[in-house]
A and B are shown apart, each in its own frame.
Chain A
Amino acid sequence: MTAAPLATGTAPDTAGALLSVRGLTLDLVGGTPQPGLVQGVEFTVPKGRSVALIGESGCGKTLTAMAILGLLPRAVRVVSGEIVFAGTDLLTCGPRELRRIRGGPVGAVFQEPMSSLNPTMTVGDQIAEARRIHFREGRRTAREHARELLDRVGIPDARRRLDSYPHEMSGGMQQRVMIAAAIAGEPRLVVADEPTTALDVTIQAEILELLRDLRRDLGLAVLLVTHDLGVVADFCDEVVVMYAGHVVERAPVRDAFRTPAHPYTSALLGSVPRSDHARTPLQVIGGRVPPAGSFPGGCRFQPRCRHTAPACAEPQPDTVVGSGHHTRCGRVAAGGLQPGREL
């Protein structure tokens, strides 16, 4: 299988999608109930592609990822929407089907390897477990596959490392083990929530290189949650931008960086230091993401936007502004604002 080329400009149509999230709405129940933590979220991950999920802290990236993985915290309920993976709605299919999919065709990698790896189990056993569950392999075969997987993710001396415990490894090695466990089920999609945020850039570069190789060799699609726009530019084909529980823009990666069609995306891009502008003030987005429960009606970015107009208080429909390029800014959609870095 070959990975899809890093082309841009092709529409991520739902028909060819491996994963399609439609109208996903999550409420906080219990405590002080808060509706619309995540509201009407729509995007697709085409086969073999890499899609970035970006936005400031608290915008709902992790909740969206957890909904896909069926790992939502107890207090958070799915109110409406569909999450269709290879033709199956993960929100309505039975628990049996879910168990088949998670850890099998859908793998997961998280920010803190130590919180996801079992500290009392050898890494070999943890990787072999996926093989035993999803492929009903016997001990010996599963262990041999675990060794191959450790080798595949670049862990030196894999046979000896099978019997190591996670705490005996460095952060970068633990992250490799987690990736080995995620690909043990031969997934078609890996959901990775900030897989390199806790690592040094040199180790990050190695991990991204590994994920790139896996995409090429196994035709993997990746949904990558990240704060780092450099990582997006480096690794992703498409970008989904979340703000306060809404998807405000989605676009092929080059379009997202060159002609952002939502003021929030443009503001995020403007806050990255540029080497040719050292020691000059960076663009800032005044204010901050409102806490869940106090979102304004209409466009949730209104209170912080430079272009707010009365119409922004109305609901902003998803509008197509280019091939595969969607915005939820009504002012851009109406032609009153031009997409671009100056937005």
Chain B
Amino acid sequence: MTDAPVLRATGLTKSFPLRRSALGRVVDRVRAVDGVDLTVTAGRTLGIVGESGSGKTTVSRLVSRLLTVDAGTVEVDGVDVTAARGRALKALRASLQMIFQDPYGALDPTKTVGHAVAEPLLVHGRIGRRELTDRAADLLSRVTLDPGLVHRYPEELSGGQRQRVCIARALALEPRILVADEPTSALDLSTRSEILNLLLRLQKENGQAIVLVSHDFATVRHLSHRIVVMYLGRVVEEGPAALVAGEPLHPYTEALLSAVPVADPDEQRGRKRIVLHGDPPDPARPPSGCRFRTRCPVAMDECARIDPPLVPVGGERSVACLRHPGPAPVEPAAAAAIRVAR
């Protein structure tokens, strides 16, 4: 394991057309992702949380190159893959794989489980047809599924089993990066634990970098080393998981966490609740200044004028909020005074 990032994205920006004029010209766009930076190192998990519509899925599809960026760059192992096509894109698939929320939609109902799992190996010419069953059985046992399932069809499996099949398939090419978009959101509580345990174990064994996208703070906190909090297409806070989840700095992170009820009646009933009023604003028309200001419980007058940038505030964390300006720049006169005092 090294500290060099296996995946680095800078300035990711993507907008989607909302409406077109009679002549087919786009007249209204929604900026789903607006200047997002991410870095993930080997063997580590980066969690992305935020409400629905905050741009999490769009970010994960941009870094996976399932969508093309409007602006920004994506690097895998130091290689710029932002505009990769053809062979380069195929090579990217071998180092980066995705797991999706819906294990039902992700599998072709007409293909056996064995085929689903080993298909990437066939496509990449790593195995011949005759090896398919054996390799598929291997992969299934890595995700603790009965290798006997190779001849079954997806409809015969439960949601949790299907999600494991998807994970086995994602592992087939031994990617260095897994991007998982809400991998447990469609699953029951107990099945969710199984999938989270599986991701933890696989990461310990193979040292993959994982990008875990979820609207569920508990899931993200459980798996992540670092957490990115998104609001309306922007990163509003980023830092070590324990700090972001334990001592949030951004008012949005604080509100989001306080809204997650704790499964302990005494603790939960003694908690301070910050109820955010109103729905998130229309992402096509974000508020002026700080995008969170319309729901922010501690907004100030200048929050309507100044759009706070994401700035480091020490302790390896960054925050985009005018109430957390980071270390104040030292005035030249004061700096001179300090030098004289020395």
Q: Which of A185-193, A230-238, A325-333 contacts B (4 or more CB under 8 A)?
A: A230-238
Which partner residue on chain A sits nearest B278 by CB separation? A156
Question: B265 near A282 (CB under 8 angstroms)?
Answer: no
Counting CB contacts under 8 A, is B100 at the interface? no
Given contacts A230-B261, A271-B193, A273-B221, contact A206 B268 (CB under 8 A): no
Counting CB contacts under 8 A, is B149 at the interface? no
Interface residue tally on B, bucketed by range: 35 or more
Complex Cα distance A201/B158, Å?
27
Partner of B265, one of A233, A278, A283, A288: A233
Counting CB contacts under 8 A, is B192 at the interface? yes
Complex Cα distance A218/B147, Å?
57
Question: B190 near A273 (CB under 8 angstroms)?
Answer: no
Complex Cα distance A206/B258, Å?
12
Q: Which of B167-220 contact A (CB under 8 A)?
A: 188-194, 196-197, 200-201, 215, 217-219
Question: B51 near A202 (CB under 8 angstroms)?
Answer: yes
Interface residue tally on A, bucketed by range: 35 or more
Complex Cα distance A268/B51, Å?
26
A-side contacts of B160, CB under 8 Å:
288
Complex Cα distance A202/B215, Å?
11
Question: B263 near A229 (CB under 8 angstroms)?
Answer: yes
Counting CB contacts under 8 A, is B17 at the interface? no
Given contacts A233-B261, A272-B218, contact A284 B255 (CB under 8 A): no
Mark B residues whose CB is within 8 Å of A. 51-52, 158, 160, 188-194, 196-197, 200-201, 215, 217-219, 221-223, 241-242, 245-246, 255-256, 258-269, 273, 275-279
Could you list 10 further interchain pairs (A-B, Cβ under 8 angstroms) beyond the known A201-B215, A202-B259?
A: A56-B190, A156-B278, A202-B51, A205-B261, A206-B277, A208-B261, A209-B275, A254-B265, A269-B263, A272-B263
Counting CB contacts under 8 A, is A343 at the interface? no
Question: B261 near A228 (CB under 8 angstroms)?
Answer: yes
B-side contacts of A284, CB under 8 Å:
190, 193-194, 197
Partner of B260, one of A57, A156, A230, A267: A230
Interface 1/0 per residue, A16-46 and B, CB below 8 Å: 0000000000000000000000000000000
B-side contacts of A267, CB under 8 Å:
190
Partner of A233, one of B196, B241, B259, B268: B268
Partner of A271, one of B189, B221, B269: B189
Question: How far, in Å, is B42 (CB) from chain A's closest CB?
Answer: 16
